Amino acid sequence: MSEDRRLPTQTVAMATYLLCTGGAYTVSELATRLALTPRGTRLLLEKISTVVPVVDEHEDDRRGAVWRLIPEYDER
């Protein structure tokens, strides 16, 4: 299946994989990588964060807020 014909579930899986394997991305960076709009990417990340322990953190003024997996997350 070509990139422009990716299923929504494939896009969610790719975003989740990128974050869970140690990636840290701004909304803009991830939008480019997933071929989505920044608004769509932010909505996607907010939905993912309800089931996967990811959070947006302000890293520095040059890069802005970065989404990443919460380190050493304990579900208890």
- pTM for the full predicted model: 0.82
Tens-digit pLDDT profile for residues 13-67: 999 999 999 999 999 999 999 999 999 999 999 999 999 999 998 766 677 789 9
DSSP per position, 7-76: -HHHHHHHHHHHHHTT--B-HHHHHHHHT--HHHHHHHHHHHTTTS-EEEEEEETTTEEEEEEPTT----
What per-residue confidence (pLDDT) applies to 21? 94
What per-residue confidence (pLDDT) applies to 71? 76
Within a 10 A sphere around the Cβ of 67, how many other Cβ atoms? 24
- Domains, the chain, in order of start with CATH, read 3-69 (1.10.10.10)
Higher-confidence residue: 53 or 5? 53
What per-residue confidence (pLDDT) applies to 73? 59
What per-residue confidence (pLDDT) applies to 2? 53
